[in-house]
Amino acid sequence: MKKTFFAIILPIILIESICSQTIVKELLTENLIDPVGLDISIPRFTWILQNEKRGITQTAYEIEVESNDTFAWRSGRVLSDSSVLVAYKGLPLKSNTLYFWRVRVQDNRGYISDWSLPGSFRTGFLQPSDWKAQWITPTLEEDTVNRPSPYLRKTFQTKKEIRSAVLYATSHGMYEAYLNGRRVGDAHYTPGWTSYHKRLQYQAYDVTGLLQQNNTIAVMLASGWYRGTLGWSNKNNHYGRHIALLIQLEIEYTDGTRERVISDPSWRSSTGKIIYSEIYNGEKIDLRLEKEGWMFPEYDDSQWAYVKKTNFDTAKLVATYNEPVRQQEIFKPAAIFNTPKGEQIIDFGQNLAGWIRMKVKGKSGDMITLSHAEVLDKEGNFHTANLRAAKAQCTYILKDTNKVILHPHFTWHGFRYVKIEGYPGEIKPENFEAVALYSDMEPTGSFTSSHPLINRLQSNIKWGQKGNFLDIPTDCPQRDERLGWTGDIQVFVPTAVFNMRVHNFLTKWLRDLEADQLITGEVPNYIPDLGSNVNRAAWGDAATIVPWTLYKTYGDKRILHQQYGSMKAYVKSITNVTHDGLWDKGVTFGDWLAYSPEEGERKTPGTNKNIITQAYYANSLRIMMNTAKVLNIPDDEIYYTNLLEQAKKAFHTAFINEKGDLISPSQTAYSIALEFGMIPYHLEKQAAARLVELIDDFGHFTTGFLATSPLPHILLKYGYGDLAYKLLEREEYPSWLYPITMGATTFWERWNAIKPDGSFQTQKPQSNSFNHYAHGAVGDFLYRKVAGLDIAPDKDAVGYKHNLIKPFPGGSLKHARAILKTYYGTVGSSWKLDGKQMEMTVEVPVNTRATVYLPSTTPENITEGGKPVNTSTEINILGQEEDKYTVIQIGSGKYQFKIQRL
């Protein structure tokens, strides 16, 4: 980049300032590192400031964006503390163009940083007319039962020295593309799952290094989500019967001339080794049928079939916004053994979503079958009944005696155990590995404590997220379902945002939610929709809860702008059917999969379903009121404020009796009503006391997907911290830790998926997933309350601009620690108890501040870095609160507090 200088340059940089220079690093464009293929006309920039000194903030920034040695934007010096999601304001961006940008900042001490190292982004196609390629589909006579994977290929020459080459690709079905035998990119299951008829994502790959003079583009296609079997009634062809491909390769030579290679009727097609491929059922690969050399230019394809043109509106093509699915962790066998039935099994020690990579050497015709399962049954045999119709099997037929490495391409399984049949020779651990596959989101959070089972709980929660964040947020990764259930994600999203950066992943999914919403605003129960029912209370509310959570976590106002129409339409679809503010015609799955006693066990009190529907409706109204405020739409803010008041009144009239209690004396009812502020203030304490009685009465929670995760938060809020920790540390069924005592490595769909005697629950044996993340929603309690890492409540705090550090030590825990990588940098909160002393370590990123609650009302009892806290100029004591805390305000930096507690 060219060197320019800050409009106002400080003349002398002192030696001292060099040591404490603010460094600008980790540039993100639209939340990604150097993305290729953005179709957003106003991308946003984020950078992290680093400085070991305390109390550093940004006071100004300067950004330069250039392309081909020409400036597209020079912001000049902008007086601002914004370093997150700063919108581009330069010349209109051009399609398929590489841009570089850099930034420097001035900090609150007046020092100017060096320019950052450049970040980059490449635009995709900004107008539909940029697409010159034609959709093509194979003309092969198709085996309509097995639907083998078609191969498509095209050979071409390049003429001069290449400066850059970008391949744009998408398909109906899934594709894997190769250039001269080398895989293009490392994404799997492309183009991902969207509401295909309305939005189809394309991918862009920089393939400059893959091109030579003679080239072949080779593509394998598979049915995928587009036309494969999906849903639980064995239906296929949800989006169409025919798979198809669209490819456009844009080459730029060093002399500035350009060339384009596109999919068109000159391509040829055939089939090869993949003779069957379905998401649920698995893949069958017959190596004897492979067309050797078909990915290379020398291959003779004269016998291959032609392809024909098909049509699809290019206006519906959108660039990929979320991170691709990539291969992630690899697990070696933890144990290899035979079951009582004589099955040969490998245990990989972790329930995950992905596939097996296997090395094998045999002879032509040898057939090896790998079946996948999450659990063994009580007797120790391989258990697949809970996969329902999903066969989850991969079969390989060998061609010769060469050693080969095999894995499937267009399927994945939810598994921990693999049953191996037909493997030639001994099953040795070095020949097998389990590969986890999921969307490649940045891991952002970690939580650890002195409690080994709670640490395992955190690990299980993360693995639930990994196993189910595979291009869309699914309910489970193993059975014939794997759908984007709205209720599950709205419950889990507060936890998900801690573990990984789910910003783009869920932004993309919300676009599909809007696309699949009915014209009347109703929200299908899962997204992308295959024709499900709509507007189940607490499920449809994903339309409001998910964008609002993304806004709060990432400080992203644009997501609210984008989703506002969708959010409004959903809420309107409910308001339209309310009577005097009451949603009494609402349908809901209720507190799904609440503790449900088996024969002979004590029954739990039921919950009037309208308590749930009304509380969720009111919650969505509150989100609308707050969103209208953020977006500065006063009329809407007033409108939703009034509706919320009306909805709350209707709740009081309908569900609170003359004694001030809820008409349904259930934990679910109290949890949800308190969580969503449905109880009049003067009755809140009474309601909390009722909730406590109900928990004490059973000795455990009796709640499900919706009402369980709010419980510990509510208990803390109303002064029942001991009970919150009792629930958290409970190991007997039902509890969060019970599955762990039974060997679980992910969260179960049901509290009693495996009963204490080792047998499976019998209430609904066919719905017994061992990898459902919804109950893992307790994760947000671990981060926000146990470790005490949160966002302050003021409106400017969003995105962790203002952190709240307020841990709640309790139970048998001796220490806990959470860290979170925000767009500003790493926030950290940890505490340790040592007799009457408590140590707290707090890390606050540059350009942010934190309000910290120190558990002593006597500042004299608190030191920071060994010095009394009240003598520090870097610590601002705000006062005492709740008869318990000294509250302080600090700027960026690392702080070590010691508190003598009485």
Q: Which of 137, 535 has the CB closer to ligand BGC?
A: 535
475 or 637: CB nearest ligand BGC: 475
C-alpha dihedral (819, 823, 825, 827), degrees to nearest 10: -30
Would you state the torsion angle of the CA atoms of residues 12, 17, 19, 21, taken in this order, to the nearest 10 degrees?
Answer: -100
Give the nearer residue to ligand BGC in terms of CB position, either 252 or 475. Answer: 475
Site for ligand BGC in 583-602 (CB under 6 A): 589, 592
Q: Considering beta carbons, is residue 593 or 827 the nearer one to ligand BGC?
A: 593
**Binding positions for ligand BGC, 643-672, rule CB under 6 A:** none
Least Å from the CB of residue 339 to ligand BGC: 28
Q: Which is nearer to ligand BGC, 62 or 480 (CB)?
A: 480
**In the window 214-273, what residues touch ligand BGC (CB under 6 A)?**
none
Catalytic entry in 66, 343, 374, 749: 749
Considering only the stretches 121-129, 198-206, 274-282, 484-492, report the one whose residues sit in contact with ligand BGC under the rule CB under 6 A.
Answer: 484-492
- State the Cα–Cα distance between residues 175 and 355, nearest whole angstrom: 17
- When the beta carbons of 323 and 488 are compared against ligand BGC, the nearer one is 488
Pick between residue 548 and residue 748 the one whose CB is nearest to ligand BGC. Answer: 748
Binding window for ligand BGC (CB under 6 A); candidates: 89-97, 396-404, 475-483, 633-641: 475-483
Query: Is 481 marked active-site?
Result: yes
Q: Write each residue from 832 to 871 as x if it is in contact with ligand BGC (CB under 6 A), else as -, in one continuous string.
A: ----------------------------------------
Beta bridge partners of 406: 358
Closest contact distance (angstroms) between CB of 736 and ligand BGC is 17
Q: How far is the CB of 706 from ligand BGC (least distance, A)?
A: 10
Cis peptide before 477 (omega within 30 of 0): no
Residue 475 binding ligand BGC, by CB under 6 A: yes
Please state, in angstroms and rounded to a whole number, the distance separating the CA atoms of residues 467 and 414: 7
Strands (E), 758-845: 789-791, 802-805, 815-822, 825-834, 837-844
**Residue 476 contacts ligand BGC per CB under 6 A:** yes
- Report the C-alpha gap between 347 and 356 in whole angstroms: 12
Beta partners for residue 235, in sequence order: 230
Stretch near ligand BGC under the rule CB under 6 A, chosen from 139-147, 354-362, 483-491, 695-703? 483-491
717 forms beta bridges with none
From the CB of 477, what's the least distance to ligand BGC, in Å? 11
Report the residue number, 230 or 582, with the smaller CB distance to ligand BGC. Answer: 230
Task: Return the range that interacts with ligand BGC (CB under 6 A); candidates 248-256, 281-289, 448-456, 474-482.
Answer: 474-482
User: Quick check: 776 and 495 in contact, CB under 8 A?
Assistant: yes
Packed helices 710-717 and 667-675: angle between N→C axes, nearest 10 degrees:
70
Residue nearest to ligand BGC (CB): 475
For the purposes of burial, counting CB atoms within 10 Å of the CB of 258, is it exposed (0-12), middle (13-18) or buried (19 or more)?
Answer: exposed
Going along 173-255, which residue ranges are E strands? 174-179, 182-183, 200-206, 214-222, 244-253
Please state the length of the chain: 902
Catalytic member of 481, 522, 637, 864 = 481
DSSP labels, 710-764 = HHHHHHHHTT-HHHHHHHHH--SSSSSSHHHHTT-SS--SSTTSB-TTSPBP-SS
* Exposed/middle/buried for residue 140 (C-beta within 10 Å: 0-12, 13-18, 19+): middle
Q: Which of 487, 739, 776, 779 binds ligand BGC (CB under 6 A)?
A: 487
* Contact range with ligand BGC by CB under 6 A, out of 53-61, 362-370, 419-427, 485-493: 485-493
Helix, coil or strand: residue 693: helix
Q: Whose Cβ is closer to ligand BGC: residue 485's or residue 554's?
A: 485
Stretch that binds ligand BGC, among 267-275, 482-490, 846-854, 873-881 (CB under 6 A): 482-490
- The least CB distance from residue 413 to ligand BGC, in Å, is 17
Nearer to ligand BGC, 55 or 487 (CB): 487
Q: Interaction with ligand BGC in 758-787: which residues (CB under 6 A)?
A: 772
Shortest distance, CB of residue 537 to ligand BGC, whole angstroms?
12
Q: Which is nearer to ligand BGC, 476 or 628 (CB)?
A: 476
Interface with ligand BGC: number of residues (CB under 6 A)? 9
480 binds ligand BGC (CB under 6 A): no
805 vs 845: CA distance, rounded Å: 13
Q: Which positions from 325 to 354 touch ligand BGC by CB under 6 A, shown as an x/- string? A: ------------------------------
Q: What's at 329, amino acid-wise?
A: E
Q: Which stretch binds ligand BGC (CB under 6 A): 94-102, 205-213, 473-481, 810-818?
A: 473-481
Q: What track of x and - describes contact with ligand BGC for positions 86 through 105 (by CB under 6 A)?
A: --------------------
Q: How far apart are the first and last CA of the chain?
A: 59
β-strand partners of 419: 345, 371
Minimum CB separation of residue 592 from ligand BGC in Å reads 6
For residue 609, the minimal CB distance to ligand BGC (Å) is: 14
Please choose, out of 319-327, 395-403, 481-489, 545-553, the segment that lies near ligand BGC by the rule CB under 6 A: 481-489
Q: State which residue, 481 or 637, has the beta carbon closest to ligand BGC.
A: 481
Q: Is 598 a catalytic residue?
A: no
Contacts of 519 (CB under 8 A, 6+ apart): none
Chain Cα centroid distance, residue 745? 19
In the complex, minimum distance from the CB of residue 691 to ligand BGC, in angstroms, rounded to a whole number: 24
Using CB under 6 A, which residues numbered 119 to 148 contact ligand BGC? none
State in angstroms the smallest separation of the CB of 735 from ligand BGC.
Answer: 20
Site string for ligand BGC, 488-527 (x = CB under 6 A): x---------------------------------------
In angstroms, the CA 161 to CA 796 distance is 52
Q: Shortest Cβ distance from residue 502 to ligand BGC (Å)? A: 18
- Could you tell me which stretch among 208-216, 479-487, 696-704, 786-794 binds ligand BGC (CB under 6 A)? 479-487
Min dist CB 486 to ligand BGC, Å, is 8
Instruction: Please say which residue, 432 or 592, places its beta carbon nearer to ligand BGC.
Output: 592
Long-range contacts at 404-408 (CB < 8 A, ≥ 24 apart)? 404/287, 404/359, 404/360, 404/361, 405/357, 405/358, 405/359, 406/285, 406/357, 406/358, 406/359, 406/360, 407/355, 407/356, 407/357, 407/358, 407/435, 408/277, 408/282, 408/283, 408/285, 408/355
Report the SS3 class of residue 289.
helix
Shortest Å distance, C-beta 487 to ligand BGC: 4
Take residue 65 and report the two structure tokens written for it: 């964006």
- The reply on whether position 485 binds ligand BGC by CB under 6 A is yes
The pairing of strands 802-805 and 849-854 is parallel
Rounded Cα–Cα distance for residues 349 and 549 (Å): 33
Partners of 49 in the beta sheet? 24
How many Cβ atoms sit within 10 Å of the Cβ of residue 206? 17
Would you call 437 helix, strand, or coil by DSSP?
strand
* Residue 461, both tokens: 């929660």
Q: What is the 3-state secondary structure (H, E, C) of 45-82?
A: EEEEEECCCCCCCEEEEEEEEEECCEEEEECCCEECCC
Question: Which pair of structure tokens corresponds to residue 628?
Answer: 């209208």
Residues contributing to the site for ligand BGC (CB under 6 A): 475-476, 481, 485, 487-488, 589, 592, 772
List, by residue number, the catalytic residues.
481, 749
